[in-house]
Amino acid sequence: MAAKIITFGIQKGGSSKTTTSGVTAYLLSQNYKVLAIDLDSQGNLTELLTQQDIYDFHGATIFEALKEKDAKPYVRRISDALHLIPAEDHLARFPSWLYEQYRGNRSLVLKEALENVQDDYDYIIIDTPPALGDQTINALSASHAVVAMFETSKFCYSALGRFLETCVHVQELVNKELKIGGILRCMIDTRRTDNKALVELVEEEYKDICFETILTRSAATGRLSINGFQDNPELKKAVHQYHGFVKELLERV
């Protein structure tokens, strides 16, 4: 059975998108075969999962997979059940390549590149850049579900509606299989009344699609980028609050 493909996105930086993508991929890999895809030229998911510099993967990344329409040669093993297709900053050239050299449907390059690996996994997790550009459109066009990240800030609140609107456009025009899995709310500071007010506001406006789980900022989770998922003495504490979200996610997709 082909993998379920899930994209994490929002066109706003600092919204726990990469951390959530990485933790979700890690937790799913405890029971399933998972492929994580870094579709952001910053390569933060690559660093998070490998604890290596992104330039270690130069010439063997998702950009090459997209250009060749073949993901399989660029899959890296993180563990037996968790694999990764890395990214580095040359991925920033993807839009120019897409419009200058590519011939075909520009929204479906990733979908076509994943066709020969989909049967190898139960889940494929895609981390996208903080922009509504070609990488994000390709991710949505290839996915079965999307998780919209919401961190409690006014700017992210402004971005949320536009992101969901983009998802609906992709549903209507490119990928009728795409489902809005839900909005995952992340509290910057539980002591701040404005943070609580924004969480409640989003629930009022998008009640039917909000996940019940609400993530809060945690020092142990923040240190995942430094300590990674291997030999991390505080890993259990760092990923603890994500278990409820992953359970909800599996029920929805």
| pTM tops 0.85, yes or no | yes
- Tell me the pLDDT tens digit for each residue of 123-141: 999 999 999 999 999 999 9
- Tell me the pLDDT tens digit for each residue of 159-211: 999 999 999 999 999 999 999 999 999 977 777 888 889 999 999 999 899 99
What integer pLDDT is reported at residue 192 of this predicted model?
84
What integer pLDDT is reported at residue 217 of this predicted model?
86
What integer pLDDT is reported at residue 210 of this predicted model?
97
Query: DSSP for the chain?
Result: -PPEEEEEE-SSSSSSHHHHHHHHHHHHTTTS-EEEEE-STT-HHHHHHH-S-GGGGTTSSHHHHHHHT--GGG-EESSSSEEEE---GGGGGHHHHHHHT--S-TTSHHHHHHTTTGGG-SEEEEE--SSSSHHHHHHHHH-SEEEEEEESSHHHHHHHHHHHHHHHHHHHHT-TT-EEEEEEEEES-TT-HHHHHHHHHHHHHSGGGEEEEEEE--HHHHTHHHH-SSS-TTHHHHHTTHHHHHHHHHHH-
Taking 80 as the threshold, does the pLDDT of residue 93 lie above it? yes
pLDDT greater at residue 62 or residue 216: 62
Q: How far apart are CA 99 and CA 1, in angstroms?
A: 34
* Span of 41-45, 64-68, 138-142, 206-210 with lowest mean pLDDT: 206-210
- Domains of the chain in start order, with CATH, are 4-252 (3.40.50.300)
Q: What is the band of 75 on the pLDDT scale with cuts at 50, 70, 90?
A: very high
